[in-house]
Amino acid sequence: MAGTPDDDGVDLGISLEAVATIVDHARALQGKEEAGVADGEDADSEAALLEDSPDDLTAESLHAFIAELNEDEQASLIALAWTGRGDYGPEDWEEARALAAERNDGRDAAEYLLAMDNLGDLLAEGVAAFGLSIEDIER
């Protein structure tokens, strides 16, 4: 799933399709958390409609998707989240990726990423910092 350089020569190290999938999944999970589905809640309520079903996206499935990425792709995701958060700019991309790879060595990148608030938005903002958009990606 490694990314390929676009016309401007930017190589994110992960495909935009993979990032878009993760963004969509993370945003769906965030929507569930914000809806506050609780045990004993009215089954017809809007929040209950977001509750997990067998075909629904879960944190476990997102964790598995991220865990299946190679180490370079995981480091790129972490660096994109940091860029989206404002910790790094596009001009610092290689430094951000190198630090992400170093800090991720021997750790669970999926767990780290899933602990971030608004992960989907951070990744989308990180991609946007490079003048790219995940909204244009076919899903």
pLDDT in tens, the chain (139 residues): 444 444 456 799 999 999 999 999 999 998 766 555 444 444 444 444 444 443 456 899 999 999 999 999 999 999 999 999 999 999 999 999 999 999 999 899 999 999 999 999 999 999 999 999 998 887 6
Percent composition of the chain: helix, strand, coil (DSSP 3-state, to 5): 60, 0, 40
User: Tell me, what DSSP letter sits at residue 44?
Assistant: T
38 in a domain, yes or no? yes
11 in a domain, yes or no? no
For residue 64, how many other CB atoms are within 10 A of its CB? 11
Kindly list the distances between the CA atom of residue 4 and the CA atoms of 7, 12, 30, 37, 73, in Å, as whole numbers in the listed order.
10, 7, 29, 40, 12
In the chain, the amino acid numbered 73 is: E
Measured at the CA of 101, the angle between CA 66 and CA 68, to 5 degrees, comes to 20
111 in a domain, yes or no? yes
Rounded distance, CA 48 to CA 19, Å?
28
90 in a domain, yes or no? yes
Domains in the chain, number? 1
- Please tell me the pTM assigned to this model: 0.78
pLDDT score at 60? 94
67 in a domain, yes or no? yes
4 in a domain, yes or no? no
Q: Which domain range does residue 96 map to?
A: 16-130
29 in a domain, yes or no? yes
27 in a domain, yes or no? yes
